[in-house]
Chains A and B, each alone.
Chain A
């Protein structure tokens, strides 16, 4: 051993020293230096198909982020299992700030209560970055239903149990749960008819095969405006800025009723707090509100109030909604 070092006389030893310093320096650098972040493109995993709300929101966020961070932000759609596949992929990615997730009420609140076995833990495996958007659902009925408001609907349903059918985009979607919560709180019996996705559900609703739906706002809003459906209320805690005249279900007859779809940006747990702080700054209220309100204000995404407050509450918000959503059916 000693011979080895004896041979490294003169410049060689210095070269070794330089090499050692270089190696240590490189190691320190690869442990993410928040000042350099981001030094390469960031990807946001969207666990839902392209064109859907989560995807659209993610793309708009990606745009604002790209501009603010001066780095490319790419969207990767990884669909399947109600969002679990994409969420799981993000949960297990390296927490270096270059992989983020567009999480939703499905991936972080509903699925954990719906599936007996989850591939990830929505609280432990993720570090919330910021709330992106919240959207209530819209209670719509087919024009043939003789109810002009929530009270009349409840009365109708009570008078004819099992006569009304409500559609949903599938088992475990917010539309399904909104309907079940309504049934439970109002004490009525409506038949749940699940469909594979939003489009066939709305199609059958407009066609009159089913009578009621607690639909996402964008699609139904257009049908309401065209007179093909009648809107009764919104399902959130406050009125929607897009439909100021419409009461909330809570106001109109079921106090305490509240169902919201929400979308939040997450990083895998273990991501350095400096990186998360940096990302939060990018999403500071003004930039995002300005962008998202441009074309989106017409689709019901009222984000204005409480954004900054929600940002800091990100973590507790997850816990809040997980127990908030009451799943009445058995686990799968």
Chain B
């Protein structure tokens, strides 16, 4: 079978000592970068580009790719340990992962994250190998109308994310949508809500919002709890997941992998959307959804698998078409160009050793990451036992440096500060930040695609229901809305009857 022959070629290349070494360096650096809040793979890869000039192209790309998906692993670590999402896609992991850590179960959370990610990575690498070209074609079926309908579906799913009051969650989503609209409007170039600040013309950075809303506010809240002698962190019980944990997680891992792999293909979707969707799905299918937000391990297993699966499949448009789906891919295209490889549809056929070598090395990278990360769990957990009064200033420093390093802008740090304050207020007033973040991510895409779809259809609004894929997504969204709202309404009526 051709696939086996190709994979053999790939592994021959990936398993040279040199390439294994570069893979190791890449994933190690990536993990480190991912752990450091704010500092992302983009800055690191940009910095390492000159160093890769002297390397053979395959080795350079293997290393750079390793940094990318290594960062996904690392981002989960801080999300679980200190409620700081190291990467955008780790935000959802904060929800239940951090709750688990506070219950003394940081070890199992980290372990499940690593194992789930490894499974997801293996499966999606296989998917990459087998279905890359046809999957790339799917990306083309998604026009503006389909994207809009997908976003609508996503926003309804955001309501699922909420634990408490439904109406509060909707308001948070709306607020997130509004915050996402800050910046230059893509369709007209009009600056919206920028208050004359050039740093806002490209919008508020996701990391800025997440850092403030999750990280900074949590530090303040923790200090308050300690002042009241409340327990912040329970004692560490064990490092490994129990059998019950594994039983509960494996289905979540499967589902997460599927969702993440699919959503990762879409340009602009990627790992972030996948992790949010996986979380919402887990919550919906769980027998007892009230566990979520309080340390449900499926809430870690699903999203973590999803974001790693997405990280792998987001290479598909790059490798098959030469089109980058995010900033990291754009850098990799740059790296390829510098090495004399012109990225495009022919790379697969003209330079098969590059294509298959990279795919094989992705799997190896995932293996290395699990091998690296599992023992590290012990170290991370030890770190948690450092007295909080010494730990939190360090967290503050890393966060501030991380936010600053995004754009070398002190304005970003000031914005994160503002969001920190807002996040603190939200904690005090029982408002959940997760729906806000999802609205923040989806909102601008939704509006952009809505207007673009109407522009292309010359003002005809029926385009959303006449195009089959878009119609299907909207129907799914309506169905989801019913599934979400009806139980809530029924509950309210039951309460009303009881009174």
Chain A residues in the interface with B (C-beta under 8 A): 49-52, 55-56, 59-60, 62-63, 75-82, 84-85, 88, 114, 119, 162, 165, 170-172, 191, 193-196, 199-200, 202-204, 206-210, 218-219, 221-223, 225-226, 228, 294-296, 298-299, 332
Closest to B184 in A: A171
Contact call B321/A206, Cβ cutoff below 8 A: yes
Bound together, the chains give a CA A203 to CA B320 distance in angstroms of 12
Contact call A79/B202, Cβ cutoff below 8 A: yes
Say if the beta carbon of B36 comes within 8 Å of chain A.
no
Q: Which residues of A contact B187 (CB under 8 A)?
A: 194
Contact call A203/B456, Cβ cutoff below 8 A: no
Closest to A117 in B: B196
10 contacts between A and B (CB under 8 A): A55-B46, A76-B408, A78-B407, A78-B408, A80-B199, A170-B189, A199-B324, A219-B344, A223-B344, A294-B340
Bound together, the chains give a CA A23 to CA B327 distance in angstroms of 49
Question: B171-215 toward A: CB 8 Å interface, digit per residue (1/0)?
Answer: 000000000000010111111000000110110000000000000
Say if the beta carbon of B332 comes within 8 Å of chain A.
yes
Given contacts A50-B45, A79-B407, A194-B186, contact A299 B143 (CB under 8 A): no
Which of A56, A209, A298 lies in contact with B143, CB distance below 8 A? A209
Contact call A222/B324, Cβ cutoff below 8 A: no
Which of A82, A191, A196, A199 lies in contact with B330, CB distance below 8 A? A199
Interface residues of B in 13-64 (CB under 8 A from A): 42, 45-46, 49-50, 53
Contact call A203/B330, Cβ cutoff below 8 A: no
Q: Which residues of A contact B425 (CB under 8 A)?
A: none
Contact call A226/B46, Cβ cutoff below 8 A: no
Which of A55, A77, A191, A207 lies in contact with B140, CB distance below 8 A? A207
Q: Which residues of A contact B45 (CB under 8 A)?
A: 50
Contact call B323/A219, Cβ cutoff below 8 A: yes
Contact call A332/B452, Cβ cutoff below 8 A: no
Bound together, the chains give a CA A297 to CA B448 distance in angstroms of 36
Say if the beta carbon of B482 comes within 8 Å of chain A.
no
Most buried by B among A60, A85, A225: A85
Contact call A222/B345, Cβ cutoff below 8 A: yes
Nearest CB in chain B: distance from A291 CB, A: 11
Contact call B344/A222, Cβ cutoff below 8 A: yes
Given contacts A207-B141, A298-B342, contact A332 B189 (CB under 8 A): yes
Chain B residues in the interface with A (C-beta under 8 A): 42, 45-46, 49-50, 53, 139-144, 184, 186-191, 198-199, 201-202, 267-268, 317, 321-325, 327, 330-335, 337-340, 342-346, 407-408, 448, 452, 455-456, 458
Which of B53, B202, B407 lies in contact with A63, CB distance below 8 A? B53
Bound together, the chains give a CA A196 to CA B346 distance in angstroms of 26
Q: Which residues of B contact A114 (CB under 8 A)?
A: 189
Nearest CB in chain A: distance from B299 CB, A: 31
Bound together, the chains give a CA A85 to CA B406 distance in angstroms of 14
Bound together, the chains give a CA A193 to CA B458 distance in angstroms of 12
Contact call A49/B327, Cβ cutoff below 8 A: yes
Given A162-B458, A219-B323, 14 additional A-B pairs, CB 8 A: A49-B330, A55-B334, A75-B46, A78-B408, A79-B407, A80-B198, A81-B201, A194-B189, A196-B448, A207-B141, A218-B342, A222-B322, A223-B321, A294-B340
Contact call A195/B186, Cβ cutoff below 8 A: yes
Given contacts A81-B201, A199-B267, A299-B342, contact A332 B191 (CB under 8 A): yes
Contact call A50/B323, Cβ cutoff below 8 A: no
Contact call A210/B332, Cβ cutoff below 8 A: no
Q: Which residues of B contact A204 (CB under 8 A)?
A: 143-144
Bound together, the chains give a CA A219 to CA B330 distance in angstroms of 11
Closest to A209 in B: B143
Given contacts A119-B198, A203-B323, A209-B456, contact A295 B338 (CB under 8 A): yes
Which of B139, B202, B333 lies in contact with A203, CB distance below 8 A? B139
Q: Which residues of A contact B267 (CB under 8 A)?
A: 199-200, 203
Closest to A222 in B: B344
Nearest CB in chain A: distance from B345 CB, A: 4
Bound together, the chains give a CA A79 to CA B344 distance in angstroms of 26
Q: Which residues of B contact A218 (CB under 8 A)?
A: 337, 342
Bound together, the chains give a CA A20 to CA B321 distance in angstroms of 67
Contact call B202/A81, Cβ cutoff below 8 A: yes
Contact call A52/B338, Cβ cutoff below 8 A: no
Contact call A209/B198, Cβ cutoff below 8 A: no
Q: Which residues of A contact B317 (CB under 8 A)?
A: 203
Contact call A80/B407, Cβ cutoff below 8 A: yes
Most buried by B among A196, A208, A223: A196
Which of B198, B331, B455, B456 lies in contact with A51, CB distance below 8 A? B331
Nearest CB in chain A: distance from B119 CB, A: 30
Nearest CB in chain B: distance from A174 CB, A: 15
Closest to B445 in A: A196
Closest to B444 in A: A196
Contact call A202/B323, Cβ cutoff below 8 A: yes
Contact call B144/A209, Cβ cutoff below 8 A: yes
Nearest CB in chain B: distance from A322 CB, A: 19
Closest to B142 in A: A207
Contact call A59/B50, Cβ cutoff below 8 A: yes
